Amino acid sequence: MSYGRAPRRRFALLAATVAAGALTLSACSGEGPKAGGGGNTNFVTGSGGISTVAKGDRADAPELDGTTLHGEKLDVSDYKGKIVVLNFWGSWCGPCRAEAKHFEKVAQETKGDGVQFVGVNTRDTQKTLAINFEEDFGVTYPSLYDPTGKLLLRFPKGTLNPQAIPSTVVIDRNGKLAARSLAALDADRLRDMIKPLVAEK
């Protein structure tokens, strides 16, 4: 009987919608997609979930520029010569709230080592929510405002691209993608991620 086809189609659509929702929830739970993705990615994921690339194999960071939450122009390439810690976050994301105080603490600790923190606020349709988040958690470093997620799409596939919220990507002094985490970080794990790059000559 042909009338059974429409219900099956609706069921398939419903199943796809549920799967997409589950992926969104898992991304914000700090249990984002596993690193890798086929091909010659050149990065290694350690037991702590932090992926790293050897110095000679690193890809160039994409152009990341725009306006901050406070309306100022910011171009990440202006920080070349420093280590840049990019944190992709949203005020709606529970794990982002958990890690915010750790990021501010380590940002202050590592300023003297030539480390610059930059946030990328994404999927916040109301800028005031993101600004309130920064005030609540005492975040003082700048955040690019990226409500549609276009900056995330600038990262080439097969590189250390952000694939979940939160994600953290570290750019070395030469503007290359060096390390990534697809889960929330505490201060100790964040320090462990940055230290090897500070030590590089």
pLDDT in tens, 60-89: 999 999 999 999 999 999 999 999 999 999
Please report the pLDDT score of residue 143 as a whole number: 98
Averaged over 186-195, what is the pLDDT?
96
Query: pLDDT at residue 93 above 60?
Result: yes
In DSSP terms, 143 is beta-bridged to 119
pLDDT grade for 201, boundaries at 50, 70 and 90: confident
- % of the chain beyond a pLDDT of 70: 76
Residue 48's pLDDT band, with cuts at 50, 70 and 90, is: low
pTM of the model: 0.80
Burial (0-12, 13-18, 19+ Cβ within 10 Å), 158: middle
Higher-confidence position of 6 and 62: 62
In 3D space, the residue among 40, 76, 48 whose CA is nearest the CA of residue 60 turns out to be: 76
- Per the prediction, the chain carries an average pLDDT of 84
pLDDT at 7 over 70: no
